[in-house]
Structure 1
């Protein structure tokens, strides 16, 4: 144990990088040199109570008693069991099929009814943050969507085996995602960078010129095919599939995943020997990453924009698509899904 009169506090203070501990060492240096507590408080501009505490801590624990100790603070009102119960309740509500949302008042009412704890409004949000929750935008889904059907579809290896010709090995299959987007003068608006507190206005046209973009991506190799048309029907769908068929190497077979639109009929792939179409489960657009491609194009190129006419729409859509496919890593990263790996 260090002794008060044999410790070189001034030397220790010169080497100490922590300002708070340096003050404590200097206080003990003055004390060991014969200054009383009142003189030390005047020299160092600290309280007499602090000097008494530092001397006492040193005499009890040595130099270790001068280390800064973080105050544990007031313990939380909810214990671990109660916190876990509240977190489970909030998570279940966020996944509820009945809709609606929890407000801070709802959560406060729950804690009061179950635990007898009544929070201030601001305290409720601190509790939510401590439990790992945040205020985020929810994603929409169709009320008829089946999670069970989606999970079954993700067993895509079996789905592929059942649909492709028997002589085709899985190692020869290229999986493509395909979809169509409606782009027109009644365009979308999006967020943009602006000064805090401002609310910039952007033009939203009311005319009715539009075009359709057919897009397809093969995440494994980054190949893409697109077609822009004035309307949408089975004839244009076959033209798009023809582009995918022609892009498929002679020793490969293309499996094209698409939604269940009315023009996506069973006979679409009849004329192609190297291509098979597979339909997504009903009401499951989130399984098709091309939906994210449309969002990428709108956010970066097509939103907040005026189109002069159909030709202008075609030109802007072409530039947006070409910008997307210019970086093959972006194509692969945005569109790849683990469940389409047929060789595992």
Structure 2
């Protein structure tokens, strides 16, 4: 690796959002059963994301589906966003991530987390934070949903990302690695 290059640790994943109503708990008066209108349309899109637990930096982009082609586009876009920095990118073992067709950019080094272990990836908490205000909401169109998600992302701070993604085992490893 070249001198004077920053090496960053990022956690990557995708989440699907769509017009199907996400239901959640609500508080009501004693004896009052809450009711929520639910719709089941299948239109949806995917948000690809990468977050940096140490700084709270976050990179989010929308794609129509989850596949190797969209993942490659996300990697290429992320590589440009990183500029001259390098990234160690934690990813799960989804087929889109492990495909032999994926061409990893020179400045992104993949680290595959164990299979079936989403709890090891801090970005899962970001998806929970994103979807919480969407619960029990109906959207008339994908565009209305996109606008609401953009509002949520516009309010997202570096401090929030640090707070939800700073797993002790990750931070300890990063501080240890930085000491060498």
SS of equivalent to 2:174: coil
Whole-Å Cα distance in 1 between the matches of residues 95 and 102 of structure 2? Answer: 15
User: In the alignment, which residue of structure 1 is the partner of 2:163?
Assistant: 333
SS of equivalent to 2:160: helix
1:194 to 28, 34, 49: 28
Q: Which has the higher helix share?
A: 1
Please show how residues 1-344 of structure 1 align to structure 2 within 5 Å. Answer: 167=1, 172-250=6-84, 252-265=85-98, 267=100, 270-299=103-132, 301-323=133-155, 325=156, 327-340=157-170, 341-344=173-176
Whole-Å Cα distance in 1 between the matches of residues 158 and 87 of structure 2? Answer: 19
Larger radius of gyration: 1
Q: Could you list the runs of 4 or more consecutive aligned residues of structure 1 that deviate by over 3 angstroms after TM superposition?
A: 266-271
Aligned length: 173
CA RMSD of aligned residues (A): 2.2
Whole-Å Cα distance in 2 between the matches of residues 297 and 261 of structure 1? Answer: 21
User: If the length of structure 2 is used for normalisation, what is the TM-score?
Assistant: 0.85
Gaps of 5+ in 2: none
User: If the length of structure 1 is used for normalisation, what is the TM-score?
Assistant: 0.47
The answer (yes or no) to whether the contact 1:211–1:314 under 8 Å persists in 2 is no
Residues 256-284 of structure 1: per-residue CA shift (max 9 Å, x gap):
11111111125576351111111110110
Quickly say closer, same or farther: Cα 1:268–1:342, change in 2 above 3 A.
Answer: farther
SS of equivalent to 2:109: strand
Gaps of 5+ in 1: 1-166
Whole-Å Cα distance in 2 between the matches of residues 183 and 246 of structure 1? Answer: 25
Whole-Å Cα distance in 1 between the matches of residues 81 and 101 of structure 2? Answer: 17
